[in-house]
Structure 1
Amino acid sequence: MNRKLKKIMIGTAIASAVFTSTMTPTFANTVTHRVGTGDTLWIISQKYQVSLEEIYQLNPQYRNNSAINVGDVVNVPAKQQQTTYTVQQNDTPWIISNKFKISLKDFLKANGLKEGQHIYPGQKVLIPAASNSAMTYTVQNNDTPWIISNKFKVNLNDFLQINGLREGQHIYPGQTVTIPTSSGVTPPASNTTPPNSSSSPSKSYVTHTVKNGDNLWDLSIQYGIPFKELQDVNGLRDNHVLRLGDRLTIPVYHIPVKSTPGPQYGELLDWWTEAQYVIPIGKVFIVEDFYTGRKWTMKRTIGANHADVEPLTARDAAIMKEVWGGNYSWNRRPVIVEVDGRRLAASASAMPHDVQYINNNNFQGHSDLYFSNSTRHVDGKRDDAHQKNVLIAAGR
């Protein structure tokens, strides 16, 4: 072979190799896909919106033989992009996730947040792209996780997991949830009426299998129901000892949204049959003073006849004090409770007393929050001043 031609061929081969190496893309993040029935490499590429070449780059074993088997693991480049958002006044993780139509679980994970954790105006948060393998759905009146999972023919546990929900947790009309999709599933028509529609509260039941570390008090908090009710439903006494594998019946309450005379008013919910299930122990929410519009964040930490609540931070406690004229006070004021996209009519006082669960908030104890038909702890009787304020906040 001509020596000059040989040099040209070798040089071309080297250049080609260098060029190929230079052009090989690198992926900062990858995800794994476990092959299911009916999957092909092309179907997987469409599902994750990547090219076949990108899949071959990460899985060179399939370049000459693209046959895959159920159970195989295929590496896929993660191409989701994230944008930043500046938290506005009164924003919560739930409000932001609904605003951008992403799952609450994805938003919390992207920002390293826990459920119920506080965010502040001016804070920068990440907005993850919507998952390519799921779609979103706007909750309708009387929807429940069980109803939605049946509507879309998906597993209830899968639905709960992708939305960061626990068994028995409430969802509300207007809330955006993520549907784990499977091939061929399409959303129902927007005028689809959920089964068993009703304007009255309803109740269903789920079963909890006792696992290591469970106790009745923690389970009552987990499922958002009163401790005494959990005992009574299962016929248990105070000294009952749970055993691994025991099966407990858990009541799940579905509280429909009620109409109000105007957007400035709150829903008039009965404490015993409605409000205590919308504001369970452990729930974090915003309180708005009805007359001034000032807002602060609180958490229900205890309480049976009414909600015993505490300001979440020292700043929240300071706002409370300002609303009550610069001093903590037993005076009652009508308020609106903003929780999970709902506005509830209530009445609040601002005197710290007795048991305290939140430290470092400059509020030594808890204060009282009343809803319709809430009663005093001390004697179980009606507090007329609180009830009058509840009706004011409800526009009655």
Structure 2
Amino acid sequence: MAKTKKRIFALFLGVLVLAAHAGTVWADTYTVQPGDTFWLLSRRYGIPMENIIKANNASPSTVLYVGQVIKLPRKDDIIHTVQKGETFWILSQRYGIPLDDILKANGAGYSTTLYAGQNVIIPGAGRTRIVHTVKKGDTLYLISRQYGISLEELIKVNNVNQSTTLYPGQVLLIPIKDRKSDSYSENNVKGDNDSKPSVTYIHHTVKPGEDFWNLSIKYGIPMYELLKVNNMSETDILYDGQVLKIPIHHIPVKSTPGPQYGELLDWWSEAQYVWPIGRNAVLIDFYTGKTWNVRRTLGANHADVEPLTYQDTITMKSLWGNQWSWQIRPVIVLVDGRKLAASASAMPHGIQYIADNGFNGHFDVHFLNSTRHSDGLVNEEHQRAVKIAGGR
């Protein structure tokens, strides 16, 4: 009888241990304190607010209460939205992360079932890859161009082929390129920190109808600089066959503290050459991750920018509470595969070049050390937002 009681007690103790283990959350956790919000936590721990929200399968309007325990993904974690038929094992194979690590990060077990739409933490995947959610009109080729990677690498990483049809909402993995070695590496924050911007020169033979303005657009060089290197002025007339000197700026890639941040580039010596007038880009709202397509249409002291389409304007307006505002938000500029730290306001003003986009004018995008057009002074609020987007 005594032995039977001991066995029952041991069995009961084992059940308690298993129950406790089953309830363990292996991801980093945080107990909510008075006044905490998702935004404050994202700023405090340097984690994108969207990632914290997704990791807890919450929404931006979710109210936190004191004593609540939430998950805090790490800076290099990716939050994956589960698609129909996916399992933890499939995700481990896709991201190249050990199955046990993914299970621990999500407080899950081998028998845990995933459901479509659920958000799952993929620990450490952000060191080597970022996630692209397919939008209407996307193709493998366009996506490879957007991120500055080869089509072959994009196909290989996602186990697809050139004839694969993409659908909106589909998730693709984008390998992060180590531009220093021109290869794909696990160290996504490495840049050419020891290198400085440099300038080389080529020569251009003037053709009929060309002027300094359209040549500045063609080569991505400010017109005043083009005039200066050729010892000419705006009143000088170009003639057919004339040879001009064209400066070409080489801007090394800079390190960032993590994959969610952009390169902190000086406007005057770096950023204006990486994003020249006439070049399209994607703006990413730093706090929400929402994106919209834009074009830099003008701007000398900072970038004057316009949404490409009416839908891009709608997306942009939603970020500012569905009204136009001078309020400043940190953004990431995705241009030619590079992510730049920037800051944007949302008030239409001045000259407009793109018609039928529902935006009457342009809006301002600032970079490190850029200034206002009105008085040539630095806007400190813009500079703070630029540094947030750069992880500083």
Quick check: TM above 0.5? yes
Equivalent-residue separation in structure 1 for 2:253 and 2:262 (angstroms): 10
Residue of structure 2 equivalent to 1:365: 361
C-alpha distance after superposition, 1:94-128 (max 9, x if no partner):
148844239xxxxxxxxxxxxxxxxx9759xxxxx
Q: What residue identity is the alignment partner of 2:237? A: V
Secondary structure in 2 matching 1:337? strand
Equivalent-residue separation in structure 1 for 2:270 and 2:151 (angstroms): 30
Question: 1:2-17, aligned counterparts within 5 Å?
Answer: none
C-alpha distance after superposition, 1:346-388 (max 9, x if no partner):
0000110010000000000000000000000000000000000
Q: What residue identity is the alignment partner of 1:381? A: L
Residue of structure 2 equivalent to 1:246: 242
Secondary structure in 2 matching 1:330? strand
1:209 aligns with 2:219: no
Indicate conservation of the 8 Å contact 2:302/2:364, yes or no.
Answer: yes
Residue of structure 2 equivalent to 1:388: 384
Question: 1:57-206, aligned counterparts within 5 Å?
Answer: 87=138, 92=143, 94-95=145-146, 98-101=149-152, 122=168, 141=179, 173=182, 199-206=195-202
Equivalent-residue separation in structure 2 for 1:341 and 1:236 (angstroms): 34
Q: Which 5+ residue runs of structure 2 have no aligned equivalent?
A: 1-135, 154-165, 170-175, 185-191
Shift in Å, 1:139: 9.1
Q: Which 5+ residue runs of structure 1 have no aligned equivalent?
A: 1-84, 103-119, 124-137, 144-172, 176-195
Q: 1:315 aligns with which of 298, 311, 317?
A: 311
Equivalent-residue separation in structure 1 for 2:312 and 2:226 (angstroms): 33
Secondary structure in 1 matching 2:293? strand
Indicate conservation of the 8 Å contact 1:142/1:254, yes or no.
Answer: no
Q: What residue identity is the alignment partner of 2:322? A: G
1:379 aligns with 2:392: no
Q: 1:225 aligns with which of 205, 221, 228?
A: 221
Shift in Å, 1:88: 6.3
Equivalent-residue separation in structure 2 for 1:386 and 1:229 (angstroms): 26
1:349 aligns with 2:345: yes
Q: What residue identity is the alignment partner of 2:145? A: W
Which stretches of structure 1, 4 residues or longer, exceed 6 Å deviation after superposition?
Answer: none
In the superposition, relative to structure 1, how do residues 93 and 304 fare at CA in structure 2: closer, same or farther (>3 Å)? Answer: same
Equivalent-residue separation in structure 2 for 1:356 and 1:346 (angstroms): 21
Residue of structure 1 equivalent to 2:296: 300
Q: What residue identity is the alignment partner of 1:328? A: W
Q: What residue identity is the alignment partner of 1:280? A: P
How many positions carry a matched residue from both structures? 234
1:325 aligns with 2:376: no
C-alpha distance after superposition, 1:231-290 (max 9, x if no partner):
001010111000111110000000010000011111000000000000000010000000
Equivalent-residue separation in structure 2 for 1:292 and 1:90 (angstroms): 26
Indicate conservation of the 8 Å contact 1:88/1:122, yes or no.
Answer: no
Equivalent-residue separation in structure 2 for 1:372 and 1:215 (angstroms): 31
Indicate conservation of the 8 Å contact 1:290/1:334, yes or no.
Answer: yes
Question: 1:18-33, aligned counterparts within 5 Å?
Answer: none
In the superposition, relative to structure 1, how do residues 240 and 93 fare at CA in structure 2: closer, same or farther (>3 Å)? Answer: farther
Indicate conservation of the 8 Å contact 2:284/2:291, yes or no.
Answer: yes
Q: What residue identity is the alignment partner of 2:258? A: G
Secondary structure in 1 matching 2:237? coil
Secondary structure in 2 matching 1:220? helix
Q: What residue identity is the alignment partner of 2:223? A: F
Q: 1:267 aligns with which of 247, 263, 266?
A: 263
Secondary structure in 1 matching 2:152? coil
Q: What residue identity is the alignment partner of 1:295? A: T
Residue of structure 2 equivalent to 1:334: 330
Indicate conservation of the 8 Å contact 1:142/1:198, yes or no.
Answer: no
